[in-house]
Structure 1
């Protein structure tokens, strides 16, 4: 089947506002529609808590029948992970969670398979060796919290925990989330709402309530790999990468379904606006404050970006030939500038392009969300163009 032709339609009119100082961000956002096949998207930038860019435009569906509106929400895939990490850091800040304590001290069943001493920080930093399950995981069971967490508790690590990172693409949410549930009695989505997004009025949920479905953008799957299709790409992956990224295989079709939206997937099914992403990552950028509210202590916000050791990630290595370094639930920008020129800036990308960024030194937080997915897990060109424009304007 021939590759579909790139969209050549004119860039849509953008809505929202942009401080004149950050006009280059508006230009880059508009260029994403003209030259990078953007369908519908939004970007928000805050500097020291002040919103300097809040733009949206394009279409919320593949058929181009619904405009992207101010309150359009979209599944942001792994950009959710930084939000789930924020919940864990809030518990640590309150003295309810010790990041150096064994996971099994909160979740006794987790101590099976040689994991009795594995500390919580290894879950947050993708160093637990639990990047995926070895046995096939059907979607229906993947959506079942009790089934998936029980399987993770019983399994053995793929590698010696703490020695390497290997991206826990889907398991991260169940692992960190079950610790949250064991401490609070609430699933991460409920904890997030009760403690952070509800009180602060932030438009972000883990999963999506059925009543909100009408304002959700439709995700559009990325183009298939050029050489041989998805199956050929999978054949080149190591077993641990297959377990992490393709067990179960998920994409736009699954993420658009009512079943996905109804599930609790704190690694991958957060739904929100770019504004909400910027506000949530703004807690880290604001050294614990967002929107005038103290969410974390300064020391807790700083702890979140403590590097846990650079290495060539065992799961992402095929796509990132260079070394990367995870902090405690967020990725460091590092020498390659994934989140701008400050190597200690942090953020998290979502499959296909979305991004949250936090840079305490410059006071910048950024949220970027979209519905036409690119083929990359991280560092989508659209995101990088926006980040370059932000830092060029500072």
Structure 2
């Protein structure tokens, strides 16, 4: 399969790693971008963007990224904090009255953004709902009892994260997550990353496929065994026939369905910590600092490892960033001052991006070792 793109001097080793991933069949379609000092220094694409192997992957190809989405969903909520409409530490039931049941009445937006809301999964009743039944899924969360006292434990809210944000935004601002992202966040960032891909851009979206013959069942059993319980309802979040549909690409599912190019994600992380960057301008100085500060560090009950969550990405001594189920990931290197994004359409583990990170001397192990 064809490899195209560019590599600046000093990053030649990445071309070798990327070429090997595509040549040995571990990749059927992927892109790698690295930004440093405000410039894209690596922009590589390889393989195909579609299941029919007729569309080569291009620099502007978009792909479904799973949890890489979450920091962008959180920004939508934080813009409403920045303008004073919402407050991080006020109970969200003050706006979303229906949510204040089942031990959830004191839940705050900060707890939602840091995966401590006590609803890491949709309730069993959501199993009968369609993946894109936004109103039904919101009602199911509002009626569900918290699994534990909000704020007392941390567990990645794998599918529920975006819906919780959406419910708060709808009740507190009158606008949905998708509307706030489209009208406020995306224009401020000037980023080619979408919750709800415009019709004119659908031909740029890559098809996803499973690497393992057992598809969803096998990837959960062998690669992500701890995620089975949080992905159980609604069904379809691992089904390529849903993920490749126009309906999914046009919809907003804030926890997992950001569609983005590698270059856009790396550019975002490349400016994330900048004192005059777009994220700081969007949030203001104080909230931007808080966005990047570790809010909670502890054993994540979904992931089963000790993680440090900010109000959006994960943070370690080495990186700020987040990966997604299937193998895509993006981060800012605190040690080396560059941003990296690797996106793939072939759903498997993170061994591919780990090889990219190793070639850059980036430690992307998100488990935190507490003193």
TM-score (norm 2): 0.87
CA distance in 1, matches of 2:284, 2:314: 20
Q: 1:36 to 1:129 in 2, by over 3 A?
A: farther
Count of residues in Structure 1 that have an aligned counterpart in Structure 2: 359
Q: Could you list the runs of 5+ residues in structure 2 that have no partner in the other structure?
A: 363-371
Superposition map of 1:217-232 within 5 A: 217-223=206-212, 230=218
Match among 216, 227, 234 for residue 248 of structure 1: 234
Between 355-364 and 53-62, the greater mean CA deviation after superposition: 355-364
Is the Cα–Cα contact under 8 Å of residues 131 and 168 in structure 1 kept in the other structure?
yes
Pairwise mapping of residues 124-163 of structure 1 onto structure 2 (< 5 A)?
124-138=113-127, 140-163=129-152
Name the CA distance, whole Å, in 1 between partners of 2:178 and 2:206: 20
Q: 2:340 aligns with which of 336, 354, 366?
A: 366
1:359/1:61 Cα in 2 relative to 1: closer, same or farther (>3 Å)?
same
Write the mapping of 1:104-115 to structure 2, written as runs, cut at 5 A: 104-115=93-104
The 1:44/1:139 distance shift into structure 2, 3 A limit, reads farther
Distance of aligned partners of 1:232 and 1:325 in 2 relative to their CA distance in 1, 3 Å threshold: closer
Q: CA shift at 1:173, angstroms? A: 0.5
- Asked if the contact 2:65–2:324 (Cα under 8 Å) also holds between the matched residues in 1, the reply is yes
| 1:177 to 2:166 alignment | yes
- Look up the match of 1:339: none
Question: Which segment is superposed worse, 246-255 or 112-121?
Answer: 246-255
1:225-275 per-residue CA deviation (whole Å, 9 max, x = no partner) reads 79xx649939x978xx54412212321222112232232201111111111
State the distance in 1 between where 2:23 and 2:202 align.
28
Tell me the equivalent position of 2:323: 349
Q: Residue 55 of structure 1 corresponds to which residue in structure 2?
A: 44
Q: TM-score, normalised on structure 1?
A: 0.82
Partner of residue 71, structure 2: 82
Contact 2:67/2:323 (8 A) holds in 1: yes
Aligned to 2:259, which of 252, 265, 271? 271
* Cα distance in structure 2, aligned partners of 1:273 and 1:90: 23
Q: How far apart in 2 are the matches of 1:193 and 1:232? A: 32
SS at match of 1:90: helix
Decide whether the 8 Å contact of 2:158 with 2:255 is kept in 1.
yes
Shift of 1:193: 2.1
1:41 to 30, 53, 60: 30
Change in Cα spacing, 1:327 to 1:174, as seen in structure 2 (3 Å) is same
Alignment match, 2:292: 305
**Secondary structure at 1:16 match in 2:** strand
Q: Secondary structure at the match of 1:92?
A: helix
After the TM superposition, which residues 274-289 of structure 1 pair with which residues of structure 2 at under 5 Å, given as runs?
Answer: 274-287=262-275, 289=277
Match in the other structure for 1:324: 307
Per-residue deviation, 1:143: 1.0
Rounded Cα–Cα distance in structure 1 between residues aligned with 2:276 and 2:184? 14
Contact map agreement 1:174 1:265 (CA 8 A) in 2:
yes
SS in 1 for 2:89: coil
Give the Cα–Cα distance (whole angstroms) in 2 for the partners of residues 285 and 270 of structure 1.
21
Q: Report the Cα distance in structure 1 between the residues aligned to 2:15 and 2:175, rounded to whole angstroms.
A: 40
**1:389 and 2:359 correspond:** yes
Aligned to 1:294: 281
Q: 8 Å contact 2:101–2:143 — kept in the other structure?
A: yes
> Unmatched 5+ residue regions in structure 1?
1-11, 335-341
Distance in structure 2 (CA, Å) of the matches to 1:201 and 1:128: 31
Taking the aligned partners of 1:120 and 1:287, their CA distance within structure 2 comes to: 25
2:77–2:177 CA contact under 8 A, matched in 1: no
Classify 1:284/1:231 alpha carbon distance in 2 versus 1 (closer, same or farther; 3 Å). Answer: closer
**Aligned CA distance change for structure 1 residues 359 and 121 (closer, same or farther; 3 Å):** farther
Correspondences of 1:185-224 after superposition (within 5 Å): 185-223=174-212
Aligned position for 1:338: none
Q: More displaced, 132-141 or 362-371? A: 132-141
